[in-house]
Amino acid sequence: MDDVEDEALLGIGAFARRARLSAKALRLYDRQGLLPPDRVDPVTGYRYYREDRLQAARLIVRLRGLDMPLATVAEVLAAPGPRAAELVAAYWESVEHRIAAQRELASHLRIRLAGDEGRSDMYRIEEREVPEQLVLTEQRHARPEDLPVWIPEATGRLVAAAGEYGGVAAAPFVVYHGEVSEDSDGPVEVCVPIAAAQADGVAHAHRTEPAHREAYTTITKAQVAYPQILSAYDAVFEWAKAEDRTVVSAPREVYFADWAAAADGEPVCDIAVPVE
């Protein structure tokens, strides 16, 4: 008889009670490779567990209490202590980000379903003068799902290129030359203002953004997610209409904060529309 059989083993029923798990859950975790039994009776198929496996079983209970997917639970169980703690922290950060985005989506839907009532309470519209800017650019056609990847990548490339021309002179911005939705793909242009005094000698794609006056509203990182960001655009356009202002150029998003470092509730972006 091997060492496992020499030890006192708990049947699946007793083990389940002490672990605060159901026998059904234990069978599932066995199939998933999370918590295989230490012995299976070859005749009856009955499962037995060592008592020291209770710690792992109780950890699974707590991780599942966070609605953690089984694949992530498996990673936590397999990792050494410090790494396991990092995995839990990373998972919970992703949950908080999702909840923050869903909270803003719920606000967006509430506005839509209430016939746009309350939008003015959510968005403060201001105006400002924007000077002429020489900008490096990248442009492409894109769908909403493309933007969270392409915009940061394009911005990173342009910021790096700006170092050749005196550095970044102002906040990068994204211009929507056409609607971006499930049915339309822009095009979209990422712009990074540079400190170069003139366009001569600028080898990268570039253009001059004219000086203009713009109406804008500031939104948080969570509010940038699609489709809730559309409520902010609608608020600016409706303000322009109510104030009898003419929209003279394409709408844009001005990213003035460090996106990676910002928390979901922190301001990161202005939704802006050139007006006269």
Which one is predicted more confidently, 228 or 37?
37
Residue 106 lies in a domain: no
Partner residues linked to 34 by β-bridges: none
Asked whether 232 and 219 are in contact (CB, 8 A), the reply is: yes
Sole residue written with tokens 């939008």: 119
166-224 pLDDT, tens digit each: 999 999 999 999 999 888 999 999 999 999 888 888 999 999 999 999 999 999 998 89
| Per-residue pLDDT tens digits for 62-119 | 999 999 999 999 999 999 989 999 999 999 999 988 888 888 788 777 777 776 554 5
- Write out pLDDT tens, residues 88-104: 999 999 998 888 888 87
**Final residue belonging to a domain, choices 55, 78, 101:** 78
123 & 72 share domain: no
d(CA 76, CA 62): 12
Residue 131 and residue 259 in one domain: yes
The one-letter code for the residue type at 49 is: Y
234 and 144 within one domain: yes
Structure pTM?
A: 0.67
- The answer as to whether 142 is a domain residue is yes
Domain that holds residue 20: 3-78
- For residue 42, being part of any structural domain is answered with yes
Q: How distant, in Å, are the alpha carbons of 68, 138, 150, 229 from that of 157? A: 35, 9, 11, 25
- How many other CB atoms are there within 10 angstroms of residue 80's CB atom? 7
CB 22, CB 11: distance < 8 Å: no
**Residue 134 and residue 60 in one domain:** no
Contacts of 160 (CB under 8 A, 6+ apart): none
